[in-house]
Amino acid sequence: MERIPIIKIEGMLVISVQTDLHDKLALQLQEDILNHIQDTGARGILIDLSAIDIVDSFMGRVLSDTAHMARILGATTVIVGIQPEVAITLVELGLDLQGVHVALNADRGMDLLRQLQREGF
């Protein structure tokens, strides 16, 4: 089965989603991220969506659920690279990714993760 790769960099899990995710693949990624947190003890998760142009309500929910689940396992999630067009569509659709950390790009996302960890989140 198709899988989204998860790599570990500086104690963080980094995921760059490069393909239009169907529902099962999105849920598989959620499960893989949680298993990786348990296996590696990672405390930060960076999810890059810069190659993704369709985030519908299902995908939005999977992303925010994943961040909340990761939180329960002691890891902080930052979603980065959301395109302006996707942001416009998400808000019109009625989704605001509440409670999820976001950053403009991967560099800023890594900075935010380090900062959150220093602050003890």
Minimum CB–partner distance for residue 21 and another protein (Å): 8
Residue 94 binds another protein (CB under 8 A): yes
- The residue whose two tokens read 């998760």 is 45
- Closest CB to another protein among 24 and 68? 24
- Closest CB to another protein among 23 and 107? 23
Residue 99 binds another protein (CB under 8 A): no
**Distance from C-alpha of 23 to C-alpha of 113, rounded to nearest angstrom:** 27
Residue 61 binds another protein (CB under 8 A): yes
Which of residues 1, 39, 84, 119 is near another protein by CB under 8 A? Answer: 84
Residue 89 binds another protein (CB under 8 A): yes
Residue 57 binds another protein (CB under 8 A): yes
Q: What is the 3-state secondary structure (H, E, C) of the chain?
A: CCCCCCEEECCEEEEECCCCCCHHHHHHHHHHHHHHHHHHCCCEEEEECCCCCCCCHHHHHHHHHHHHHHHHCCCEEEEECCCHHHHHHHHHHCCCCCCCEEECCHHHHHHHHHHHHHCCC
Instruction: Candidates 42-50, 57-65, 98-106, 108-116: pick the segment binding another protein (CB under 8 A).
Output: 57-65
Report the interface residues with another protein, using CB under 8 A: 20-24, 53-58, 60-61, 84-86, 88-89, 92-95
